[in-house]
């Protein structure tokens, strides 16, 4: 099955739920930035933990870098290679464990999609494109 078809199935998962909100036995659980109380925001480990903990959807904040969507990085001054050299850290060290700081790469949109697609059960995706109007005004790196 093509990635596009599998994504269509994932995106339509919530539409396939027949019961209206008032009849659901529980609310949807969204792993916002994954399970960031355990692992750094937007890391593969954070998303995998959210799925393991029962999240119905995993949320990602994306930014465009060198024409590729990456998570939780907002910089027009870095290339994708430079972003890939960075490692995720907890943004709230006073409230969250920091023992995994520096252990995980920044996840690309493709990697995030693969995490959802490879889940042992259906997991919806909840992408948030950060600052799209800003990025729409900028040329893709390497173009004139």
Does residue 4 lie in a domain region? no
Domain that holds residue 92: 79-123
Does residue 85 lie in a domain region? yes
66 in the same domain as 108: no
Runs of H (alpha helix) within 12-88: 13-16, 44-52, 80-85
Does residue 3 lie in a domain region? no
Does residue 8 lie in a domain region? no
Does residue 119 lie in a domain region? yes
Residue-wise pLDDT for 102-131, tens only, equals 899 878 888 889 999 999 988 998 888 776
Does residue 9 lie in a domain region? no
Does residue 98 lie in a domain region? yes
Q: Which residues of the chain have pLDDT under 70?
A: 1-24, 63-77, 131-132, 134-144
Residue 115 to residue 51: CA distance in whole angstroms = 9
CA 118 from chain center: how many Å?
14
Residue 129 to residue 118: CA distance in whole angstroms = 22
Encoded tokens for 67: 């024409």
Is the pTM for the entire model greater than 0.75? no
Residue-wise pLDDT for 34-46, tens only, equals 998 899 988 899 9
Does residue 131 lie in a domain region? no
Number of domains comprising the chain: 2
Residue 24 to residue 56: CA distance in whole angstroms = 13
């Amino acid at each position: 099955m093509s990635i596009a078809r599998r994504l269509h199935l994932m995106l339509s998962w919530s539409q396939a739920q027949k019961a209206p909100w008032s009849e659901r036995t529980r609310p949807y659980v969204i792993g916002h930035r994954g399970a960031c109380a355990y692992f750094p925001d937007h890391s593969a480990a954070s998303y995998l933990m959210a799925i393991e903990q029962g999240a119905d959807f995993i949320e990602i904040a994306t930014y465009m870098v060198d024409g590729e969507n990456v998570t939780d990085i907002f910089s027009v001054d870095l290339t994708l290679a430079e972003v890939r050299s960075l490692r995720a850290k907890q943004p709230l060290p006073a409230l969250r464990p920091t023992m995994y700081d520096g252990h995980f790469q920044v996840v690309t949109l493709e990697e995030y999609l693969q995490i959802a697609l490879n889940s042992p059960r259906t997991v919806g995706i909840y992408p948030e494109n950060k600052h799209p109007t800003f990025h729409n005004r900028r040329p893709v790196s390497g173009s004139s």
